[in-house]
Each structure stands twice: as C-alpha cells, then as structure tokens.
Amino acid sequence: MKKNLTIILIFIVILVVGLGIGWFLGRGGYDGNEKTAQFNEGSDDIFQGAARQDEVLERGGFSVLIPMGWKEVAAPTGVSAMVVNAGEEVSDPALQNINFRSYYSVSYDTLKEKTIEEYSAYIKNMVKEFAPNIVFTPEENIKINANDAYKLEADLNQQGANFKVLIFLIKGKDDDIWNMSFNSGAMDWEKNREEFDRIAQTFTIK
C-alpha cells in the first residue's frame, strides 16, 4: 500500500487538477534554499522566492537544477521535491483559472528486483487505475549522468484541460529508482520540452 501511494503521488497534482498547483502556491509554498532570491515584494506570492538565475537543489540523495524563474514549493508527503515554473505564462484559459504552472517532482522508490522496463509497466498500470484516460506514448532507454534511465511521455485530459507528462525513471545504486515527473499544459508543451530535458540531464545521484 505504501508503495502504491508513492507512485500515485508522482501524479497527484495532475489527477486532482481542480486543486492543482494553485493549491500548493496558495499555501505560500516552500523555499528550501535560504539563498534563493526574492522577486519584487509587490508581486504575487507565486513569484516570491523564484530563482533569479539557475541554481542547484540539494537533497540527501540527489541534486538537480532549479532554472531561473522556477521555485521550490511544499511537496506532498512521500515526494522528495517539487519545483514550479513560477513565472510561466500559461496559454490554456482552463489552466489560468486554477493558477496552474508547469512543474516537476522527484520521488524515491525501489525496484523490488524488477527491471527498469518492468517497473515502467508497473507504474503505467497503476496510474491507469486512477486515470483511465491517460495515454502513454513514446518510451526509450536513455542515460542520465551515466545512470540507466527510462523516459516516457503521456497525454491526459482532466476537467476540460489537456496535459502532457514527461517521466524519467532513473536507476540509482542497488535497487534504488528515482522518479522524476514533469507536467505541463498541452498548449505549452513544445516550448517546455527542451527545458524539461535540460533539467532532467542535471539530475545527479549522490
């Protein structure tokens, strides 16, 4: 049950998009890096603490890029980190209404003797139980900083809005697996894809 919960949390903001990123930002967010610069004091809370330049998010087991204009926010229980593109101008009116911004999340799991391909299939089956209309598209084996990884994409329509999900499953030491999920409105996918790939390639396991 605990493992199932971890997998669900990778996608929870998309699956409950009625609350969505706007709910997390409405809580005031969380800035785990005291050195992160503040934007103009008079700006909306979503911009407070957004990085003025590329920065590195450090955690006990990994490090990853926080691009300029992005901001770490409070992550749900079981998720190691969540970072939002605070300054994004979202194209889809349905997503504007809920204050959605593209984001990525990182969570940890174990393979339980599965191959990375078997683990990917397990995740897809699990997610489809909660989002039957999700459609997984291209998949491929890749390397991220010399670590074996698996990359897959998905399309999802939720409450009248279309989303794209980009997932990187990154194998760590022994049985460790890191799940990195990028989520974007479909209308903004092409402008976000290159940045998502750039962030993922900075993921370093300690």
Instruction: Tell me the per-residue pLDDT of 72-81, one tens digit each, with 9 for 90 and over.
Output: 988 877 789 9
- How distant, in Å, are the alpha carbons of 7, 120, 177 from that of 1? 10, 18, 18
Average model confidence (pLDDT) across the chain: 81
Could you tell me which residue, 123 or 35, shows the higher pLDDT? 123
pLDDT > 80? residue 187: yes
Once rounded to an integer, what is the mean pLDDT over residues 92-115? 89
pLDDT > 50? residue 66: yes
Phi first, then psi, for residue 154 (nearest 5°) are -150, 155
Domains in the chain (CATH in brackets) are: 2-205 (3.40.1000.10)
Could you tell me which residue, 15 or 149, shows the higher pLDDT? 149
- At residue 36, the pLDDT reads 33
- Element (H or E) spanning 193, and its range? helix 189-200
pLDDT > 90? residue 45: no
- At residue 22, the pLDDT reads 52
Once rounded to an integer, what is the mean pLDDT over residues 7-33? 47
For residue 105, what are the β-bridge partners? 82, 181
Global pTM value:
0.83
